[in-house]
Structure 1
Amino acid sequence: MEVNLFYLTVLVSILAYIYHWITRNNGYFHDKPIPSLAVKPFFGCSASLLLKQTTFSEFILTMYNKFPNVKVLGVFDTTTPMFVIRDPQLIKRIGVKDFDHFVDHRPTFGNSDNNESPHALFAKSLFALNGQRWRDMRATLSPAFTGSKMRQMFQLMEECIQAMITHLEANLKQKGSMEVEVKDILSRLAMDVIASCAFGLKVNCFEDRENAFLQHARKMLLFGRPKVFFKIMTFRWFPEFANRLGFDVIDKEQAVYFSSIIKDTVQTRETKGIVRHDMIDLLLQAKKGTLKHNQETEVHEGFATVQESDVGKAQVTKAMTETEMIAQCFIFLIGGFDTVSTAATFLIYELVRSPEIQEKLYQEILETEKSLNGKALTYDALQGMKYMDMVVSESLRMWSPAPALDRLCVRDYVVDDGEGLRFTIDKGTCAWIPVHGLHHDPKYFPNPDRFDPERFSDANKANVNLDVYLPFGIGPRNCIGSRFALMEVKAIIYHLLLKFSFQRSENTQIPLKLKKGFVALTTEKGMFMQLAARS
């Protein structure tokens, strides 16, 4: 009995210590002159999200609307104090002007400075890198995502899209129309594009529907798995412990599989002198330290395209290691696969809901096709489509793939709005920019739930506040792949609408219901539509 009592006392003491450790900062915002949300032990203010009672977008919008007249409010995301920034001027200061105070992302999936496991690839990717290591990698990779490099990769992307069109036309040959699940089709296409552009492989996920590349990628991208959820929560509650254990969001099996592909591809190209103008070629140049910024031809690249800062244009003499190169391919897969397929899926949903907008876009596509005089679509012709850009820009406003942005405060930052609000964002806390809330604020976008591409017409786009339109982030740490993503989404819509019309089917869900929990923007039961061949 005494032994049992001893063990019980030890267990209770350990649990009490863990509880104290996790809740130690719960009163953090009490001394700040800003409102804050109620905190629950272990979950902070995120209980409804982590317990899958709401979607990520709804969570951000509810939080944003809680105190509609304040510039900043406080929340706890599990154990981390987060300053939710609602004021456009302060967003710009944090994201751009005073960026040096907010260089890093919150280390959600591991920190490269502490995690040196050979399989911890996510921790070595551009997204997860911190401080000077991030600056060097951003400057190293930036020349790979310029307009001239997109032109070189455009043909590779076109080949993948044509394979999809051929597959759909073959299935529609006898029927004339059929019901399709849009996200499944676009996910397969996005995987083909990433395999070709980032890994140097021709996969064709339409013909070989269960190929090894697709299976491993799907497993790696299932972030809702209990194993991944456990890793995420361990990183949030005990980040140093998780880093010491070598935790990484990418499982070792997938790390080994994709690493071997890249190593084999690199060896073949270096041995045989193969040049394919894809991301592997560009990363090989970066590995040698020869990838540099070139003078770019002026071209309209789309309203949502973000511009590279001086950080990205800096000259870096340090060459990239093989492990770093492999890690960047992984982040291209994670970021480029789901983001693009999601953006295109929700855009198609809006075109199904708005046949008049779909028809207007189709007419522009016909005009562009006619202007090509039988030649293949080019990058510049695609970028010259004004209405296409308007439609894509509006879809990214309504359905931003990233509902919120985070920035880690790396040194104390004093907020002073000159109107009586003054406080310190302390080192180690985070700033949270509620993108979905900003994009749905009628103060910035009147009638925000209406899909209206005219917001981005030549006559109206000057009225859009660029400090609150943030589909690809803000400042030096914005999305490096915005050109690639926009190019792919536009090319997908161009070729699909040229050959098919999008119509409602019996299973088209309007309004769409989103999957609940801390997951990427995705539908609860898929996005179905009727795909009809054009005469």
Structure 2
Amino acid sequence: MFWIIIGILLLILFYFLCVKPYSFWKSRGVAQQQTWLIGDLLQMIFTKRPYPQIIRDQYNAFPNERYIGMYQFGFPALIARDLDLIKQITVKDFDHFTDHITFFPESVEPLWTRNLFSLKGEKWRDIRATLSPAFTSSKMRSMFTLMDECAEEFVKFFAEQKKDVVDVELKDIFTRFANDIIGTCAFGFQCNSMKDRENEFYMMGDELTDFKGLWKSFKFILSIASPKMSELLRFSIFNKNTIGFFEKAISQSVQMRKEKNIVRPDMIHLLMEAGEGRLKHEESLTEKETGFATVEESEVGKSTKRQKSEITIKDITAHALFFFFAGFDSVSTLMIFLGYELALHPDIQERLRNEIDDAMKETNGKVTYDSVTKMKYLDMIISETLRKWPGTVANDRVCVKPYTVTPVNPGEPEIKFNVGDSVMLPVYGLHMDPNHFENPDKFDPERFSEENKVKIKPYSYMPFGLGPRSCIGSRFALLETKVVYVHLLKKFEIVVINKTDIPLPLVTTGFNFLAKNGVWVGLKPRNK
């Protein structure tokens, strides 16, 4: 009898912990896939499907629904499928959904909570308006020289090998390039990570962005699933020595610049200027000159009604480290899959090389800011790569004021959001929806031609997010990608080799696109 009672109690406990929480949406009349224990993310473990595919499958599971339910570690989240609803949440009623999900408790990772992505409420608004002027097209123009020098050294490394074909793994080479770009443009460091493969800046950056390993994965999941438990156990995600390295380096750089009155057109200088209130958002007729995917800054970012925000060394370090994360991961993902698609589509690559060659004739072979930003076909290819291989496959918003989604379709339930409830924006699902992009699995840059891009439905394409909370660095990301590919295709053809996987198998861990065997291609010197 004793064991029967224990068994019944365990079943009751199991029901309330592992079954009942996952009927939240079903009980409210919202469509959801059957799930339990820790929610939809469990599918990565048991179904061996990459997270991007899980997002796509969830999106496609209920094609006639404006929104569907999902669960993240037991917490309900609403997936917004309808474009009008996405517009409401990200733009029209943005004041109700201003924040992102909290990843790490402030007491555990104080530096992380200072960056622009993690800040909330009025503090975020103030810092967004303060930093926004640092990312206008005019500031990108001033940084172009630094990017150009990095790209030239990067391509020179392969040219000096004098081989018929140089085999390269794109994740390896482009994370190194992104590292050098962030090093020089954000931190004021100059390094060549192709030649000096174990330079201190790269090794520290690699450690900073390395989330592999069971222990790190466990701590990361716990910090999201139970922030209070993570805080209680003091589980730090980032290595303190690594954080200390960057904080010390930035502190010394800022001090030297102030003492010697050094002005360098990089992010540290712009952050110092922002801290002094000397940056203003410059309106420009060419704000979208860096590409179709560029996110227009909202009125929040352009606002001049802000307090003068003191930007400390810790703040500068926090923002610079977040730019490092974005550059090391999201931007390198764009570069990797752009190279892969060019190798698989030699006809597209040839047309692009012709565009580059024509532009170089006009500048006597010199890569300039204007020549790069005026290459329309290059921008079409990058825009299509971001559609098919977005750096972020899903985005989130957190409700900060009670909100109601009113029914539109017959039988549709009313959804009431409380403070703290979250919405998921299924970026990859939208990008691969044939109702928005015909034959979505095909790599087709013509979707973004002058004739066709006007047909793209607003809010169906969001590689850098939407609304006031979109990525502040979209111009930076697009420009550095264009610069390196112009230099690369001036000298090389990108070709398929024996190691190239077609199709490309993806790993079933992590939250973005990651090739199981790496992304291998060959660089073949051009015969001019």
How high is the TM-score relative to the length of structure 1? 0.92
Distance 2:20 2:215 in 1: 26
Distance 2:18 2:140 in 1: 46
Contact 2:193 2:199 in 1 (8 A): yes
The reply to whether residue 327 of structure 1 matches residue 322 of structure 2 is no
> 1:396 maps to which residue?
386
Question: What letter matches 1:110 in structure 2?
Answer: F
Pick the aligned partner of 1:425 from 406, 413, 417.
417
> 1:500 maps to which residue?
492
The reply to whether residue 98 of structure 1 matches residue 93 of structure 2 is yes
> 1:366 maps to which residue?
357
- The alpha carbon displacement at 1:276 in A equals 0.6
The reply to whether residue 40 of structure 1 matches residue 36 of structure 2 is yes
Distance 2:32 2:449 in 1: 38
Question: What letter matches 2:518 in structure 1?
Answer: G
> 1:192 maps to which residue?
180
The reply to whether residue 79 of structure 1 matches residue 74 of structure 2 is yes
5 Å-filtered alignment, 1:380-529, equals: 380-420=370-410, 421=412, 422-529=414-521
Distance 1:372 1:19 in 2: 70
Contact 1:23 1:79 in 2 (8 A): no
Distance 1:359 1:340 in 2: 24
SS in 2 for 1:373: coil
Question: What letter matches 2:123 in structure 1?
Answer: R
Query: Which moved further from structure 2: 54-63 or 228-237?
Result: 228-237
Distance 1:356 1:495 in 2: 19
> 1:110 maps to which residue?
104
SS in 1 for 2:79: strand
Distance 2:499 2:344 in 1: 13
Contact 1:344 1:489 in 2 (8 A): yes
Mark the CA change 1:14 to 1:160 in structure 2 (over 3 Å): closer, same or farther.
Answer: farther
Mark the CA change 1:14 to 1:232 in structure 2 (over 3 Å): closer, same or farther.
Answer: farther
5 Å-filtered alignment, 1:239-254, equals: 239-243=227-231, 247-254=235-242
> 1:262 maps to which residue?
250
> 1:311 maps to which residue?
300
Q: What does the per-residue CA deviation read over 1:228-275, in whole Å, with 9 as the maximum and x for residues that have no partner?
A: 312222222222343466555322121111111111111111111110
- The alpha carbon displacement at 1:15 in A equals 13
> 1:238 maps to which residue?
226
Q: What does the per-residue CA deviation read over 1:104-159, in whole Å, with 9 as the maximum and x for residues that have no partner?
A: 1111x225xxx246x62212111111111111111111111000100111100111
Distance 2:73 2:332 in 1: 30
Query: Which moved further from structure 2: 224-233 or 179-188?
Result: 224-233
Pick the aligned partner of 2:259 from 271, 291, 295.
271
Distance 2:333 2:315 in 1: 27
Contact 2:96 2:403 in 1 (8 A): yes
The reply to whether residue 30 of structure 1 matches residue 26 of structure 2 is yes
- The alpha carbon displacement at 1:19 in A equals 9.0
Question: What letter matches 2:169 in structure 1?
Answer: E
Query: Any gaps of 5 or more consecutive residues in structure 2?
Result: none
Distance 1:165 1:365 in 2: 15
Distance 1:439 1:343 in 2: 15
- The alpha carbon displacement at 1:196 in A equals 0.4
- The alpha carbon displacement at 1:194 in A equals 0.5
Pick the aligned partner of 2:58 from 54, 60, 63.
63
- The alpha carbon displacement at 1:21 in A equals 6.2
Pick the aligned partner of 1:378 from 364, 368, 386.
368
Pick the aligned partner of 1:353 from 339, 344, 347.
344
Distance 2:400 2:236 in 1: 23
Mark the CA change 1:330 to 1:245 in structure 2 (over 3 Å): closer, same or farther.
Answer: farther
- The alpha carbon displacement at 1:337 in A equals 1.5
Identity of aligned residues (%): 40
Question: What letter matches 1:395 in structure 2?
Answer: T
Question: What letter matches 2:158 in structure 1?
Answer: L
- The alpha carbon displacement at 1:50 in A equals 4.7
Q: How many residues align?
A: 518
SS in 1 for 2:451: coil
Query: Any gaps of 5 or more consecutive residues in structure 1?
Result: none
- The alpha carbon displacement at 1:417 in A equals 4.1
Mark the CA change 1:533 to 1:314 in structure 2 (over 3 Å): closer, same or farther.
Answer: same
Q: CA RMSD, aligned part only?
A: 2.3
Distance 1:298 1:247 in 2: 46
Distance 2:420 2:23 in 1: 16
Q: What does the per-residue CA deviation read over 1:15-44, in whole Å, with 9 as the maximum and x for residues that have no partner?
A: 998995677733321332211122212x21
SS in 2 for 1:531: strand
Distance 1:23 1:152 in 2: 56
The reply to whether residue 183 of structure 1 matches residue 183 of structure 2 is no
SS in 1 for 2:270: helix
Distance 2:124 2:281 in 1: 18
> 1:338 maps to which residue?
329
Distance 1:371 1:396 in 2: 29
Contact 1:121 1:250 in 2 (8 A): no
Contact 1:502 1:532 in 2 (8 A): yes
Pick the aligned partner of 1:224 from 212, 218, 222.
212
SS in 2 for 1:25: helix
Q: What does the per-residue CA deviation read over 1:361-413, in whole Å, with 9 as the maximum and x for residues that have no partner?
A: 01000111111134x32222211111111111111111011111111112222
Contact 2:52 2:512 in 1 (8 A): no
Question: What letter matches 1:274 in structure 2?
Answer: I
Question: What letter matches 2:404 in structure 1?
Answer: V
Question: What letter matches 1:370 in structure 2?
Answer: K
How high is the TM-score relative to the length of structure 2? 0.93
Contact 1:262 1:326 in 2 (8 A): yes
Mark the CA change 1:178 to 1:239 in structure 2 (over 3 Å): closer, same or farther.
Answer: same
Contact 2:18 2:36 in 1 (8 A): no
Question: What letter matches 2:174 in structure 1?
Answer: L
- The alpha carbon displacement at 1:493 in A equals 1.2
The reply to whether residue 127 of structure 1 matches residue 122 of structure 2 is no
Distance 2:233 2:209 in 1: 21
Contact 2:158 2:166 in 1 (8 A): no
Mark the CA change 1:20 to 1:389 in structure 2 (over 3 Å): closer, same or farther.
Answer: same
Distance 1:102 1:524 in 2: 36
Question: What letter matches 1:426 in structure 2?
Answer: N
Pick the aligned partner of 2:290 from 275, 285, 301.
301
Query: Which moved further from structure 2: 290-299 or 200-209?
Result: 290-299
- The alpha carbon displacement at 1:295 in A equals 3.4
